[in-house]
Every structure is written in structure tokens, then in C-alpha cells.
Amino acid sequence: AGCVTEQAKTGYSKSRVETIVESEAAPHDSLLVFRTSGFKLWESQDAEFLVNRDSVALFKAGGASYLPLQAGKNKIVVREPEHFLKCELEFVFEPGTGQFVEIYERFDPSALIVGFIFADLSSRLLYDPHPGTNCAGVYGLSMGHLKQDQLVDVYREFSFQVVQR
């Protein structure tokens, strides 16, 4: 049981994402979405990603993809597939600015043994939940912008680096 609480060491890959809506959107005009490697307990479990109520992709740990998004206000949701517990965020998408969304696991399995309150506190210390997110369940959402040097190289597959907070 101890191995499920260990960190998974998964690199970022398109092969870890099942895209439901196919699109030929250019990376500069898309939202970069990635899921951190997280814990082995949830490594192979899908995180369903919805945009404006439509399911668009399923992310396994280490999955990353550029997803098309309309400029302006959008609502994104991440949850276990078809589950009622979810994390949602409404934000304004600005194409070409290098916006990204990080899906992270809110519950540290070792903290789950002690209780959900400690698990939630543990995740808040590791990740920075985006202001305005409303989260319940396994997954959380954080948001940011790629740095200028990462934007230049955006056509290389996932040239960003994630820094745990």
C-alpha cells in the first residue's frame, strides 16, 4: 500500500491524453493544459477536462495537450470521469499570451489516511490554487502564463517546466 503514496515520475506527453474533440488549432492560439505526475494512486486514472460544459479530453498523469478555446470568457472543469465532484474555474482566454492550466491532485494519499482536511492542506502547500476556483474532489486547477522564452519555443513538444510551489 505504501507505493501508491509515492510520487509518480511521469514526463509530459501527448500520448497520455485522449482528445475527444479534434482540432488543428495552432499552439499560440490554444490553451496549454497539462496534468502533473502526482501520486501513483491516481497515475492511471483519467481526469476529465470540460470546456464550457463539453468534455474535450481525458488526461492521465503526465498528459499535456494544446486545446482550442474561444477568445473571451470560458469555464473549465476537471473531474473524475462522469463524477459530480469537480473543480471549476471561469476565466478570460487571450490567444497568443501563453496561458496554461495545470491539473493537479488535491489529495495526498498518505494524508488521506489521516483525513481529508490534512490532504487538502497538503495540496495547498504544494500547489497554488488559482483564485476563483471552486474545488471538491481529487483534482484542482492552477493557471498561469508561459515565460517569454518558452513562448518562442512553443512548437516544440511541451517545452515548459513545472515548478512545484
CA 165, CA 150: separation in Å to the nearest integer?
A: 19
Grade residue 43 by pLDDT with cuts at 50, 70 and 90.
confident
For residue 72, the model assigns a pLDDT of 95
Per mean pLDDT, which range of 33-42, 43-52, 68-77 is the poorest? 33-42
Q: In this structure, what are the phi and psi dihedrals at residue 32, rounded to the nearest 5 degrees?
A: -80, 125
pLDDT mean over 13-41: 80
Q: What pairing do the DSSP bridges indicate for beta strands 72-79 and 134-135?
A: unpaired
**Residue 66: strand, helix, or coil:** strand
For residue 164, the model assigns a pLDDT of 42
CA 17, CA 35: separation in Å to the nearest integer?
A: 10
For residue 142, the model assigns a pLDDT of 80
| pLDDT over 90 at 56, yes or no | yes
Work out the burial of residue 62: count CB atoms within 10 Å of its CB; fewer than 13 is exposed, 13-18 middle, 19 or more buried: buried
The more confident residue out of 34 and 37 is 34
For residue 37, the model assigns a pLDDT of 80
| pLDDT over 70 at 63, yes or no | yes
* Sign (positive or negative) of CA dihedral 82, 83, 84, 89: negative
For residue 93, the model assigns a pLDDT of 94
Q: What is the pLDDT of residues 96-138, one digit of tens each?
A: 888 899 898 876 555 555 555 655 666 666 666 666 777 777 7
For residue 75, the model assigns a pLDDT of 95
| pLDDT over 70 at 88, yes or no | yes
pLDDT mean over 65-77: 92
